[in-house]
Structure 1
């Protein structure tokens, strides 16, 4: 029964996985027979379930006569169900209408904010935890433009655009005794003299030139210039995990929360998935981080040419409602990457 399942085995596996997703309890042969209307007798279904268990698609908890899908069973279910194929998403859906408004008014300057507002809605729609990840600046990125704008009397807004199409914004408090015109003038000089230079070279040059101006100037520019800017991550509806039976064990829930607190590990996962493109579905033990192995992560990368700008994803139990989540993420992948393509200059620099 390895490889492709025959029609009867697939029908039983599909019903078992669907029943478990709905109820979170092991599924027996009588449930498969009565609830899902399969034409096979309970005895035949039991035999098929036993075969599926032997092949690793189902497991048999010792406390129950029913079966539970394994990661292999969920994987076969996801890969062979119609919802995993590219589907048309209704233009009349609340998500489509929301994106029409948000993306029409949005600017790439606000990428993190745009993605956050969208994934906050998606988290509410699906009842799963949403993640927005935006990588930090990289030394090999080159400066496209750098501008400092006064915001009131005591604050400065810095906007840095790199050759990858990434746009970074930061607001800082003007140090006591400083005049905004002086710092804006220095920012203009940097913009004209260092365009197309790697960020690492620009920072080395800045450090040398700022020596004569003192530590306060150098520290201000360090904040304004995003040197070694760390990744940014936003989470929505993490409390949902505490409401699911799979995570009633405090140690399991604690391990998941620790993963969310550790940006570097999630960043590595998302970065590794960029090359795959489109929707990635990592089920249970397919997740490289042990703390995420009770979960499924469904994510999409956002790219400008070959350059990774960030990723968004949904995390939930392995018994996730894939027929709802995957079409939503397919739709987001198309809409968001098309928006990026239209609003940012094309880029073909390597990610490595």
Structure 2
């Protein structure tokens, strides 16, 4: 394996997700395994510009595999979007004799890494960390599985009170542009209806579905709504519509919000993060750059950053059909 690289840096950028710490751990320990140095960059690209670096060794990442969030912190950086900001970041890496950069984040973070490489020829590698699972080139992003488990647990608890009081609950989950969380948790949580951005089901279908559920003998209902669903302006507008147009429903709204980002990562996310970190470091050591590591058919594969950024994930149509059948 070619090894011109003697020192790597790793940062986390964008929204945090469970599994980021496990990925940091994997990157650091893979560097230690190959006897190269590793530097942690605090606060993402902002820290890259300010030179907020700290050397990291194998023992510095002990006890973090089970922790949510990111020990390296994360921040949005307006300055990195400017040529002057990226120049400062590049100079800091040169001054610290860093030979390559691992970026853990989403498509915005990858866009910054790609531009950075194009301007300075600096080797970069991406690890997808976002609970939305909206990155092309991987079946699972870090944090997606944990977020699903968090949401399902919340749905189960809400169903207890819905059943006790014969209520209809609209539960909003994250998913501004994609409905992966809503679709999967809706099926797992036994939702009567699932509203996602990819499928404009319309108010008529929602009303028909709720009426069908009531006629079948159901005394309570759960409707999962992705935050990017286009039926109403927001979930509270859906509640108002049902209140005004359907009698006999005691409607409640629950917005799960940022609780979906937190918590200890699942076993799946810990293993995935470990595999991705190893692949990211070893790919850089092989002299490759501008790739994202992803999971495809249970194998860790490479996708060019440009494709990962521009590509669109697709909703699983089989799950839509399963959802229709299960809500009978």
**TM-score, length-normalised on structure 1?**
0.26
Q: TM-score normalised to the size of structure 2?
A: 0.28
Q: Which has the higher helix share?
A: 1
Highest relative contact order (Cα 8 Å, sep 6+), 1 or 2?
A: 2
- Which structure's CA Rg is the greater one? 1
